[in-house]
A = this chain, B = another copy of it.
Amino acid sequence: MTKIRVAVVGYGNVGRGVLAALKNNPDMEAVGVISRNPERVRKTFSGLPVMALADTDAWLEALRPDVAILCGGSKDDLPQQGPALCAKVNTVDSFDNHSRIPEYFKAMDAAASASGHVAVISTGWDPGIFSMERVVANAFIPGSRAYGFYGLGEAGGLSMGHSDALRTIPGVKDARQYTHAVSSAIEKVRAGENPEFSAGDMHTRECFVVLEDGADPEAVAQTIRTMPGYFAPYQTEIHFVTQEFLNEKCAGFPHDGLVVAAGVTGKGNPARIEYRCQWASNPEATANVLVAHARAVYRLAGEGKAGAFTILDIPPAYFSCHDRDTLLSSFM
Which residues from chain A sit less than 8 Å from chain B, CB to CB? Answer: 17, 20-21, 24-25, 98, 101-102, 105, 122, 127, 129, 131-132, 134-136, 138-143, 146, 252, 265-267, 269-281, 284-285, 287-289, 292, 295, 310-317, 319-322, 325, 327-329, 331-332
Candidate in A98, A275, A312, A332 with the most chain B CB atoms within 10 angstroms: A332
CB-CB under 8 A from A142, the residues of chain B are: 21, 24-25, 288, 321
Q: Would you list 11 pairs from A and B whose C-beta atoms are within 8 A, ordered by A residue?
A: A20-B267, A127-B332, A135-B322, A136-B319, A139-B321, A265-B285, A269-B279, A273-B276, A273-B277, A274-B276, A312-B320
Known: A24-B143, A265-B287, A328-B102. A319 touches B135 (CB 8 A): yes
Q: CA A138 – CA B331 in complex, angstroms? A: 10
Contacts of A278 in B (CB 8 A): 270-272
Contacting A317 at CB < 8 Å: which of B141, B269, B312? Answer: B312
Which residues on B sit within 8 Å (CB–CB) of A101? Answer: 328-329, 332
For the complex of A and B, the 8 pairs showing the least CB-CB separation, nearest first, are A265-B284, A269-B280, A139-B319, A20-B266, A269-B281, A312-B317, A139-B292, A266-B284
The answer to whether A316 and B135 touch across the interface, beta carbons within 8 angstroms, is yes
Tell whether, in the assembled complex, residue B17 and residue A102 are in contact, meaning their CB atoms are under 8 Å apart: no
